[in-house]
Structure 1
Amino acid sequence: MQSPAEAAAPTGEELPRPTRFDDVKGWFRPVDQLLFDWFLTHQRDQGHAGDLLELGAYMGKSAIFVGSYRREGEEFTVCDLWDSPAPDDSNSAEMDRSYSTLTRRAFEANYLSFHEELPTLVQAPTSVISSRVRTGSCRFVHIDASHLYEHVHGDIEAAEQLLTPEGIVVFDDFRAEHCPGVAAAVWGAVATVRLRPICITGTKMYATWGDAEKVRETLLGWLETRTDMWHGVEEVAGAPMIRIDGRKAKAPAHPRSRHEAKATAPEAAPAPAAATAQASASAPASAGAVRGRRAPRTRKLVRDLLPPLLTRALVRAFR
């Protein structure tokens, strides 16, 4: 949980509460949901313990997903500027351009719709994270903060310091045309600090400073069982790397919102069948009784006042 200095933002009007995972705004494709699930589950199966860390959270979509894999005794830390001012002019311009509606309260409302308590929140530039998280304590780090080269370079250095020997780091937007700084920082780390890519998707790279070959072989075995994702192996920087096309990927089971049951609760129960049948039967009977009392008087009046030919026609119509 967060420290008193990092307590929840001031309350105001109540924010919308998502009733489904898909209601949470953000960019987290099904193929990457599947890979997050695979890596985090693989770590559990292999007995790899450690904390979880996300740098850059937006509205909390991937954080909600990652938080579902936190085990007893592990800590999940999320670092984001949220409402705080950016540390420099270039970062401030990026925040205004891309995340002008971002607030910490929105993140908290979304996260608490799926989990009973918040992760540890660090509302600050990601440059402080090395002083907030223990060295060598994290088994999974997701980097999706600034797109500026100097900031991503710093996030990579922090991830290398904070990860366990077999830990996994995931980079978002490492190949997007509007984020050349991310690409430069990530591939620079592959070339200079022995970062080992395991696989890539259309938006994310999964890598480690540990034994990439062992993880890659196990991942390939799983990919062979999938019919909704294409994969191939490329030679990059002297080592194999899996390339995955997941445009047809089917998303795994999502965390369930705590508000889902309320949103799908049935409306007021209908009246018992017996009462409904009785009401239906009584209504026509009453109307029939009224018509029955009035009909003979109407027919008598017609016979007394109108010519016989017209009388017979009207009587047939009444009948």
Structure 2
Amino acid sequence: MTAPLAEQSAEHLPRPTRLSEVKGWFFTADQLLFDWFLAHQQDRAEPGDLLELGAYMGKSAIFLGARLRPEERFTVCDLFDSPAEDASNSKEMRKSYATLTRRAFEANYLAFHDELPTIVQGLSSLVSDHVDEGSVRFAHIDASHLYEHVHGDILAVRKLLTAHGIVVMDDYRAEHCPGVAAATWQAVTNEGLRPVCITGTKFYGTWGDPEPLQEALLEWIASRGDIWHEVQYVNGAPLVRLSAKGAEEPGHPASRHTSAARTVRRSAAQSPGASAARPAVRRPAPARGAVRRVARDVLPPIVTRALVRARKRARKR
């Protein structure tokens, strides 16, 4: 019998060979935006570390870790196997994350990276004890869905962010997480949080000036041509709304457990001459009887009758 997940070592847990094999919800639009915001900050040499509150199985953490600069620190805070201190939070943990363990997170993360991030195992309210104020340039909040906890996470992250830092709120509009929506928009109306953009699952905001970010973001969207967007106004301020269905995803971190054979096959398939080397496949033309049956099925009856009469006259000749 297999040992419970919590008792297995990281070495014996399944090893993902691509990011899509890691459990979690991290869609194309948000991968593109994470990548864009981090690259935009790097292009402007903006200093700061990375922070994630709530890691689940590590999907977004793996993505963030690949964008970490050598001099930066990446901190991940999650309860993992620790019990929550209040009954409502414990109930949510049992319902939503019954299989979540720190070992599973570490196994997934180490499948893509040589070193783990700094891990704070406990309530997200503890993160301020481990991260310096004004030291974070990008923070992803995806911990508790309960209003009082999310509200506290937002206030804590506000102190931890740099002047131009970005905060991302997950599940800001999900029907099963009304507390997240309430805390997010309350921060906009009461705490000075300024929206930059939104996707179907995440809210992106800053306590700095959002207009230069929005201008640069819109230029980037226009240059790609595969991202739908619109600009709405909330309380007189612009808000970019976007969707990336069918858009090309950014480069994912490569798994350390991808087999050599799979790598060779993928490289061969992606090589410039790969398509030219394949013989052309000739599809047989449909039989005349099949064409006639299709014509009979799809053409109007008056046209079908005319074709039948014409065919009979041709046979008599």
* Same fold flag (TM > 0.5): yes
- Does the Cα contact within 8 Å between 1:80 and 1:126 map onto a contact in 2? yes
**Partner of 1:224: helix, strand, or coil?**
helix
Partner residue in 2 for 1:169: 167
Partner residue in 2 for 1:106: 104
Q: 1:235-274 maps to which residues of 2 (within 5 A)?
A: 235-262=233-260, 264=262
Distance in structure 2 (CA, Å) of the matches to 1:166 and 1:237: 21
Partner residue in 2 for 1:207: 205
Partner residue in 2 for 1:68: 66
- Does the Cα contact within 8 Å between 1:68 and 1:255 map onto a contact in 2? yes
The gaps in structure 1 that reach 5 residues or longer are 1-8, 268-319
Distance in structure 2 (CA, Å) of the matches to 1:249 and 1:222: 13
The structural deviation recorded for 1:237 is 2.2
Q: 1:1-319 maps to which residues of 2 (within 5 A)?
A: 11=9, 14-262=12-260, 264=262
- Does the Cα contact within 8 Å between 2:51 and 2:74 map onto a contact in 1? yes
Structure 1 runs of 4+ off > 4 angstroms? none
Q: What amino acid sits opposite 2:174 in the alignment?
A: A
Q: What amino acid sits opposite 1:58 in the alignment?
A: Y
Distance in structure 1 (CA, Å) of the matches to 2:160 and 2:15: 33
Moved more, 225-234 or 16-25: 225-234
The structural deviation recorded for 1:12 is 7.0
Deviations 1:39-68 (A, max 9, x none): 000000011010000000000000000011
The structural deviation recorded for 1:265 is 6.8
The structural deviation recorded for 1:87 is 1.6
The structural deviation recorded for 1:266 is 7.5
Q: What amino acid sits opposite 2:213 in the alignment?
A: V
Distance in structure 2 (CA, Å) of the matches to 1:12 and 1:256: 19
With over 3 angstroms needed to count, the CA separation of the structure-2 counterparts of 1:165 and 1:13, relative to structure 1, is closer
The structural deviation recorded for 1:254 is 0.5
RMSD: 1.8
With over 3 angstroms needed to count, the CA separation of the structure-2 counterparts of 1:162 and 1:72, relative to structure 1, is same
The structural deviation recorded for 1:72 is 1.8
Q: What amino acid sits opposite 1:178 in the alignment?
A: H
Give percent identity, aligned residues only.
Answer: 63
Deviations 1:7-57 (A, max 9, x none): xx9837710100111111100001100000000000000110100000000
Deviations 1:129-163 (A, max 9, x none): 11110000000000001100000000000110000
Distance in structure 1 (CA, Å) of the matches to 2:215 and 2:11: 50
TM-score by length of 2: 0.79
Deviations 1:156-203 (A, max 9, x none): 001100000010000000001110000000000000011000000000
**Partner of 2:229: helix, strand, or coil?**
strand
The structural deviation recorded for 1:211 is 1.1
Partner residue in 2 for 1:309: none
The structural deviation recorded for 1:251 is 1.1
Q: What amino acid sits opposite 1:248 in the alignment?
A: G
- Does the Cα contact within 8 Å between 1:31 and 1:250 map onto a contact in 2? no
Highest Rg: 1 or 2?
1
Partner residue in 1 for 2:306: none
Distance in structure 2 (CA, Å) of the matches to 1:33 and 1:260: 21
The gaps in structure 2 that reach 5 residues or longer are 1-6, 266-317
With over 3 angstroms needed to count, the CA separation of the structure-2 counterparts of 1:189 and 1:153, relative to structure 1, is same
With over 3 angstroms needed to count, the CA separation of the structure-2 counterparts of 1:91 and 1:224, relative to structure 1, is same
With over 3 angstroms needed to count, the CA separation of the structure-2 counterparts of 1:263 and 1:83, relative to structure 1, is farther
Q: What amino acid sits opposite 1:45 in the alignment?
A: D
TM-score by length of 1: 0.79
**Partner of 1:225: helix, strand, or coil?**
helix
